[in-house]
Structure 1
């Protein structure tokens, strides 16, 4: 079943809208000077988002000695960056229906997304790149898969079966069966949700960081994605390690010792982020 661009767009239009405050965060994610008081007030208007964010903040993973009951307190004890990441993750993970597509594990998808976000953030810290931007790009790099699963579950099930039969890459299976892939769908959603151009480009090029104009963020996400697949943090039985771009790997400029430290740091951060999956 080949999907037309109109069918792809309709699937995106049928998705629930993100809360306005999260749309603001995503469209202005490269801004450093966000008014924390205004952010806390905006989030507090959305009771469901506030409840989930605070549940995450109070999870044992963060080890807070006090119970936080407001977004302002979460920012005070966890820091603005961590709280903003939790708000974004809480909103996005609750935006897509689950269990629609036989053979597709929503839980494994989010495990991989959270691990890639943690790894991208750890890489960004070492490279003096914006950690918020890297985290969010890592979290959302494969979001197009959920667009296809939500809008066209039967067709995506056929793509999963095709992949298993041919033992190939998911991108190739999607193109063969659907005529589009999760990169196309992810970019379409990113435009629909008014992501920044930097974020859209990272989603568009995370499998092809050597493409002209791909940008450094795409390279970070590409390497993070490869590391997470290699460490099998999603726990998928048919885990495949994608081909890694040597240019993107070299662009990170890290030696073997630095990568070993990165792996340890990333696995600790992933344990924090996995709280999202239980919330």
Structure 2
């Protein structure tokens, strides 16, 4: 029975509409060595909604710039390619999904947590000799399967979330019991449909696994960033719980306690201003 339920759930996920073309182009450019500020700026400028949020963020306390930014090109010249792409993707994703589809799914805590994980992953990446822009995108998208299930199966997922709270179960256990699959599997399916880079798909699929068959530092990084942000309660969800933590993954990353404390402080400092600029308050 669970096999049939899982197949039906995945089919509903496959039927979800794709992201706007500019967002997929920006995510795809993570693997493009030819991508530059000019080409990315041109893509962003084609989407008025993304441009508006980007300019609001560029003029927010998040960057603390001394002069008014009035164009995508100005923003790109000051914040750089990495920040431009990350901000544009975050702005587009926050607006891409209808919160009314599944009222029981708390969209505000979801995005506040995702932004926190993205910032924590971005801060830790250079310490682990990983690419910060990819880490930010992986952190932002790591739980996209939760959103996919809420949109594809709104009534079923609402009932699941209620049952999870009543039974005081971990989310993964509740999803596996009721749907026959987890948000990690659903998210990986959606990411494959969007033709996202393989490293992002792996992070989405494996970020809750405490033991990896093939160790992957980016997956370890997102796993740790996710746990840190749950512990810091950046989502502001009263029912939030810290998932099972992989000590082996932390050891592979080679981060000290002092470095983790610095990452937590930096993430908390930047988190609220980014959420406010993206209207996730």
TM-score normalised over the length of structure 1? 0.93
Q: 1:13 — aligned with what?
A: 15
- Separation (CA, whole Å) in 1 of partners of 2:15 and 2:59: 34
Q: 2:84 — aligned with what?
A: 83
Deviations 1:22-55 (A, max 9, x none): 2122123134541221221222122222222222
- Separation (CA, whole Å) in 1 of partners of 2:215 and 2:140: 18
Structure 2 residue ranges without an equivalent (≥5): none
Q: 2:263 — aligned with what?
A: 262
Q: 1:278 — aligned with what?
A: 279
Q: 1:123 — aligned with what?
A: 124
- Separation (CA, whole Å) in 2 of partners of 1:277 and 1:152: 26
Asked if 2 retains the 8 angstrom alpha-carbon contact of 1:124 and 1:134, the reply is: yes
- Separation (CA, whole Å) in 1 of partners of 2:175 and 2:144: 14
Deviation at residue 59 of structure 1 after TM alignment: 2.2
Deviations 1:222-251 (A, max 9, x none): 000000111111111112111100101112
- Separation (CA, whole Å) in 1 of partners of 2:109 and 2:32: 31
- Separation (CA, whole Å) in 2 of partners of 1:114 and 1:263: 13
Deviation at residue 209 of structure 1 after TM alignment: 4.9
Deviation at residue 213 of structure 1 after TM alignment: 2.8
Asked if 1 retains the 8 angstrom alpha-carbon contact of 2:62 and 2:270, the reply is: no
Q: Structure 1 residues 265-274 or 127-136, which shifts more?
A: 265-274
- Separation (CA, whole Å) in 1 of partners of 2:46 and 2:261: 42
Deviations 1:165-216 (A, max 9, x none): 2211101111111222101110011001101111111111101152223521
Q: Structure 1 residues 184-193 or 247-256, which shifts more?
A: 247-256
Q: Structure 1 residues 44-53 or 78-87, which shifts more?
A: 44-53
Structure 1 residue ranges without an equivalent (≥5): none
TM-score normalised over the length of structure 2? 0.92
- Separation (CA, whole Å) in 1 of partners of 2:258 and 2:64: 28
- Separation (CA, whole Å) in 2 of partners of 1:276 and 1:197: 30
- Separation (CA, whole Å) in 2 of partners of 1:36 and 1:115: 25
How many residue pairs get aligned? The number is 278
- Separation (CA, whole Å) in 2 of partners of 1:269 and 1:126: 18
CA RMSD across the alignment: 1.9
Asked if 1 retains the 8 angstrom alpha-carbon contact of 2:122 and 2:132, the reply is: yes
Asked if 2 retains the 8 angstrom alpha-carbon contact of 1:110 and 1:277, the reply is: no
Q: 2:69 — aligned with what?
A: 68
Q: 1:93 — aligned with what?
A: 94
- Equivalent position SS for 1:217: helix
Alpha carbons of 1:57 and 1:142: their partners in 2 closer, same or farther (altered >3 Å)?
same
Q: 2:150 — aligned with what?
A: 149
